[in-house]
Amino acid sequence: MKMFKVLLSTVLLASMILGLVGCGDSKEVVTTGDTTTTADGTVTTDASGSTTDEAITLKFTYWGSPDEKAAIEAACAAFTELNPNITVEAIQIPNADYNAKLTAMAASDDSPDAGYMTADLGETCSKEGKFVNIFEKLDQDPNMSKDDYLDYIWFNVSPDNAWGVATAGECFGLYYNKDALSAAGVDSLPTTAETALSWDAFVELAQKCTLDSDGNNALDSAFDPENIVQYGVMFETWNDPISNFIYSNGGSWTSEDGSELTVNSPEAAEAIQRLADLINVYHVAPNPVAAKSLPGMSVALQNSLTAMAVGGQWINLDLGNAAVNYDIGVLPAMEKSVTIGLSGASVVFKDSKHPEEAWELFKFMSNPAGAIDLYKGGLWMPILKAWYEDPELLAQWVDANPAAHPAGFKEAMVDQLLANGVPSATFYLKNQAKLVPIVTAAWDEVWLGNKTAAEALSDIADQAAAEYEGRYDK
């Protein structure tokens, strides 16, 4: 398999990634500009990816935690070390403010050159021609191919136009504080879909791990749900975490052919109701009001405010840096155990004043060879197939940092994504900026216990159907 090539200097290669090796034993030579790169990742000359020697500043916008900020800034600095005439201004924007800030930057003719993009704003901007067509750039690049990537990661506006690519390979697992589970008599959680906890077994475990201020668990008759000091499980209520269980229960957002919206199906309603029952019936998960008073998921796990959490792989960065005693299992199964493959998009802006340099930065940030700390630190999983299929490449990010990749990570997240991953609807759903908020607002009434899932989804069925425009991949 041909690897996705990145411009690396020999010095940086030695200091940052300690002898990178690639796929197979082939030594076929590919030359890019002044840099000669072999198929095993060796760089024989030092050269800049820039097309000019003039001083250039590229803007790269992103969101994320303080640890993500540090990782992104380090990667941008590494790019500048390879390209001394290019300075990367890494601009962190809070996720909640990202769309507004990017819109304001565009209005003032100050758009970034490359960076993260949300699926909803990206869909809108792509229709206005704001982004470089990634497929077109791949067709023109001699050192990379669409076949080098995972299959599901494209944000399309048409079959031949991908306005963005997944920033990382991301998915969900069942994180757990090992000390909290051990206190409940459980040493570890299953790491394969075949051995995943049934839903009933998962609920019972969450009950055992939910403790009130007197030490009673949620199975005890004396348990006080008004004074919980440790929840059995936490989960977030935006689209993708919940979609894990819709698909696990045999539901989906749309029909396979894209002809109809199915997110209000009986299977979807049952999955939503089961999750809501964790809050309102079993009292093992915080309701939305209580959740606002809790710290983020990684801090809650660290401090045993929750024993388990349905978390995205990106929290490995924070958990690893904090040296939390944690591990990861696969998500429990309703009908089957699956994981949603998701990501924000990475894009190159068409109005960049330095389009070739912006493309080189885009490639650098999406290849583990150039930004290995983003992967071995736990923040990202690769989008390139080679970094899953080649054992030596896999070891460079999975095994290089056990604190951020505990024992269950490879089976529960890497293997699960490849074998049982379901693409997020954000990759293909048309008109999602209007449609998704309608659906998730209906879910809010269920989490609060104001409506059953069937009632809430029935109430918005006509409104959601009116906004449904199909799928970009059908």
Q: Is residue 41 domain-resident?
A: yes
**Looking at the structure, do residues 383 and 459 belong to the same domain, yes or no?**
no
Q: Are 369 and 39 in contact (CB under 8 A)?
A: no
Q: Is residue 473 domain-resident?
A: no
Nearest to 281 by CA among 452, 459, 457, 454: 452
Q: What is the DSSP letter of 87?
A: E
Q: Is residue 106 domain-resident?
A: yes
**Looking at the structure, do residues 118 and 216 belong to the same domain, yes or no?**
no
CATH number of the domain at 256, please: 3.40.190.10
Q: Is residue 248 domain-resident?
A: yes
Q: What is the pLDDT of residue 263?
A: 95
**Looking at the structure, do residues 19 and 147 belong to the same domain, yes or no?**
yes
**Looking at the structure, do residues 228 and 102 belong to the same domain, yes or no?**
no
Cα-based angle 161, 420, 434 (whole degrees, multiple of 5) = 45
Q: What is the pLDDT of residue 64?
A: 86
Q: Domain containing 435: what range?
A: 172-340+421-467
E strand or H helix at 267, and its extent? helix 266-280
**Looking at the structure, do residues 336 and 441 belong to the same domain, yes or no?**
yes
Q: Which residues of the chain have pLDDT under 70?
A: 1-52
Cα-based angle 85, 88, 91 (whole degrees, multiple of 5) = 165
Cα(182)–Cα(410) distance, integer angstroms = 22
Q: Is residue 1 domain-resident?
A: no
> pLDDT (tens digit, 9 = 90+) per residue, 124-162?
999 899 999 999 999 999 888 899 999 999 999 888 899
**Looking at the structure, do residues 212 and 333 belong to the same domain, yes or no?**
yes
Q: Are 43 and 37 in contact (CB under 8 A)?
A: yes
**Looking at the structure, do residues 211 and 301 belong to the same domain, yes or no?**
yes
Q: What is the pLDDT of residue 66?
A: 83
Q: Is residue 4 domain-resident?
A: no
Orientation angle between helical segments 199-209 and 266-280, nearest 10 degrees: 20
Q: What total number of domains does the chain contain?
A: 2
Cα(301)–Cα(298) distance, integer angstroms = 5
Q: Is residue 400 domain-resident?
A: yes
Q: What is the pLDDT of residue 91?
A: 97
State which amino acid sits at residue 279: I
**Looking at the structure, do residues 322 and 346 belong to the same domain, yes or no?**
no
E strand or H helix at 113, and its extent? none
Among 380, 398, 418, the domain boundary falls at 418
Q: What is the DSSP letter of 306?
A: E
**Looking at the structure, do residues 275 and 358 belong to the same domain, yes or no?**
no
**Looking at the structure, do residues 320 and 463 belong to the same domain, yes or no?**
yes
**Looking at the structure, do residues 255 and 204 belong to the same domain, yes or no?**
yes
Q: Is residue 2 domain-resident?
A: no
**Looking at the structure, do residues 84 and 98 belong to the same domain, yes or no?**
yes
> pLDDT (tens digit, 9 = 90+) per residue, 202-257?
999 999 999 999 999 999 999 999 999 999 999 999 999 999 999 999 999 999 99
Q: What is the DSSP letter of 131?
A: B
